[in-house]
A and B are shown apart, each in its own frame.
Chain A
Amino acid sequence: MDTTVANTGSEGKTWGGGNQPLRSSYGKMMMWFFIVSDALTFSGFLAAYGFSRFKYIGSWPIADEVFTHVPFFHGNYPMIYVAFMTFVLIMSSVTMVLAVDAGHHMNKTKVTWYMFLTIIGGLIFVGSQAWEWGTFIKGDFGAVQTQGGNILQFVNTDGERVAISDIAVNAHGERVAHERKNGLWFVEEETLPAYTVDEVYNGLVAHPDVLVRTQIINEEGHKTVLTREESLTKLKKEGRLVVQGANLKVNEYGTSLFADFFFFITGFHGFHVFSGVVINIIIFFNVILGTYERRGSYEMVEKVGLYWHFVDLVWVFVFTFFYLV
């Protein structure tokens, strides 16, 4: 077999260890087994996401309203940036498969260049994901969380979102976060939100054209907007906490599980991309040093290639279930 990397001197003997079952080398087959098990891990996560989504089917956040930003541009551009990220990842898959092909032809220069481009593509993708996280964590309009953990957002009469910072009226007697140096020693509380619910309520009273939008999805597939009277009573009676952005506890976009799964699944995928980049860099240097040239086979490039394509494959599914469906 011309792709065999190490020779055991027992080729051809059935139990000698030199055989290649399924005409695939040991390393490649093990990479396939790993990919199957990793695929099951990811589908476990995505199915759990589906579980929570089915559980809150009537109030799940609408992705187009969550991921609307593009770096360096202002305005509302749903999907554009994530489509770009998808394209970058597919493109880096292409350079990877070109590197594998060049490896089959034992062309060291080409393998080097294609590996280099693959690494660049991976870095762009990881960077984009970091930016996406940053934007998601920072949030944009802010919302009020109710006692039951639901989210109340604010819209004007045209249905456009209104930021909490634009309506909140500063009230007297602002509470200061309790630090461990005051009063009870070594006991502190978390950073207080920039506004209190009372300030937001006063702001709602002062702005007659602002309404409350709940997270319940109506029959047209939009979030329900309350009438003016309902808005005021709802916020007064149920509002408990002002939320800005998203973290593992609260989420201004809707159900907090949405943020949890977003961080968990895209984070786990991002970690895969990151380790893929690291492995690619190692292989890249091996290629430059001529390790595979001396070994007489670029099969190692093929094996990391399999892993890299798998990362792309997972992203295709994450893209569908987080951003499209």
Chain B
Amino acid sequence: MAHEHKLAIFRGTVKFKSNIQKIWGVLIFLTIVTAIEVILGIYKPEFFMHTWMSPFEGGFFATLGNILFSPIIYMKPLNLIFILLTIVKAYYITWDFMHMRDETSALRKMVVWTGVFLICYLIFILLQEGGYIQSVYENGYVKRDF
């Protein structure tokens, strides 16, 4: 049976001779990424523990800047690294283990765009509201410590 597999990963930088070799290659890559995450999680380097930018103060453009740079203004760089590495892992699991690389691009888009769009929406709504409730607690309208 002829099954077409695309055998190159990292945009063609690494090419494998057979599908089985590609599977092991992806496993090694995923293991390395997980190891990096675990090591960072255990040692928590001081450099990554504080935000690299503080929020802009001022009017409309400051707000716009805060939204644009929100991942590095409001998130510890370490957490940002963890989330990015997770998405990298998710990409290789979907693309190589689930053979998304070999599907038609329409099927790829159908699955990925739908998911990504709805998930982004969900995350935005819930985290925004969570932050709002936190600010209500913070400003002392609701007493929690008693």
- Enumerate chain A interface residues (CB-CB to B < 8 A): 2, 22-24, 29, 32, 35-36, 39-40, 43-44, 47-48, 50-58, 64, 78-80, 83, 86-87, 90-91, 93-94, 96-98, 100-101, 104-106, 146-150, 214, 216, 221, 238, 302, 305-306, 309-310, 312-313, 316-317, 319-320, 323-325
Contact = CB atoms under 8 A, between A and B. Distances in A.
A106 B90 contact: no
Interface residues of B, number: 56
A146 B145 CA distance: 8
Contact of B134 (A47, A56, A104, A216): A56
A24 B42 contact: no
Interface string B39-55: 00110000001000000
Contacts of A57: 131, 134
Provide the main secondary structure of the chain A interface.
helix
A47 B23 CA distance: 31
B65 to A, nearest CB: 21
B146 A40 contact: no
Given A2-B1, A317-B90, A52 B130 contact: yes
A43 B120 CA distance: 9
30 contacts: A22-B103, A24-B104, A36-B114, A39-B115, A43-B118, A43-B119, A50-B126, A54-B130, A55-B134, A56-B134, A64-B42, A78-B41, A79-B41, A80-B38, A83-B35, A87-B31, A93-B97, A104-B1, A148-B143, A148-B145, A221-B49, A306-B98, A313-B90, A313-B94, A316-B86, A316-B90, A316-B93, A320-B83, A324-B79, A324-B82
A249 B90 CA distance: 34
B123 A148 contact: no
B89 interface: yes
Interface of B: 1-3, 19-20, 23-24, 27, 30-31, 34-35, 37-38, 41-42, 49, 79, 82-83, 85-86, 89-90, 93-94, 96-99, 103-104, 106-107, 110-111, 114-115, 118-119, 122-123, 125-127, 129-131, 133-134, 137-138, 143-146
A238 B94 contact: no
A58 B90 CA distance: 30
A317 B23 contact: no
Given A39-B115, A148-B143, A324-B41, 17 more contacts: A47-B125, A51-B126, A51-B129, A56-B134, A58-B138, A86-B34, A91-B27, A93-B97, A96-B97, A104-B3, A105-B1, A148-B146, A309-B93, A313-B94, A316-B90, A319-B86, A324-B37
A324 B31 CA distance: 16
B2 A2 contact: yes
A201 to B, nearest CB: 17
B122 A24 contact: no
Contacts of A306: 98
Given A44-B122, A147-B146, A148-B143, A325 B130 contact: no
